[in-house]
Structure 1
Amino acid sequence: MPHCIVEYSTNLDETGQIDALLEKLAAHFRTAPDVFPTGGVRVRAWPVARYVIADGNPDHAFVNVVCRIGAGRPADVRRAFFSQAYEIVAEHFRAESERRGVGITFYVDEADPEGSWKTNSIHAHMERA
């Protein structure tokens, strides 16, 4: 972990540069390998084609980022790291937000260790590369 999922309204497909946003978020996670091991980073996007935003104006757009992390990182570390991650998202959509209404939300969830199972051979493959 972490897994970072970006849900966004499909009216951002042409102008939102979603792939660039994913790269920026992944790069941010790679700045803290002691906190978030690089081999566990997953950043992905889910376009949402069916939605109603606010007053129904089809020009409005939304971005909802949910990052799920393993438990155990101190609150001050989470707050500092994810405040910066939120700023990356907000800055990425700053021009778009000036052009039209864009709602941005960003959440961090800690996985319950009692209800979390995972297997990951990426770490070993990265060490061999």
Structure 2
Amino acid sequence: MTHEYDDPLNPAAFEAAVAQALALRSSNPDEPLATHVEQAIHEHFCACAVDIEDNIERSRSGMHEAIFKEVQARLGRELLNENDTSDHFDEVDLASDQSFPASDPPGWIWQRAGVSR
């Protein structure tokens, strides 16, 4: 539910939109995920954040696009967590992730100025 004078971009609205998109996906899995995200955005964010700006700009506004990307990203993380059935901890992958980019060699080779090979 939206409120006219509240901050339209609050954590509760994002959480509600993600939950709504998940529910829509469960009830209608044949629809594209983007359709579910868009419907959830229109239900949980006030018109000042999406509809009014879209009408002014005569296309999807920057605010609307940012909200869409954020809800979609949070939904993606939620779906990954749903599908993650592994209970093991992979130390090699974690160490590899944490060492990047320090494990990469430098992108240049040192050479004295004026010396050609």
The TM-score normalised by the length of structure 2 is 0.27
- Greater share of residues in strand: 1
Structure with the larger helix share: 2
TM-score by length of 1: 0.26
Identify the structure with bigger relative contact order (alpha carbons < 8 Å, sequence gap 6+).
1
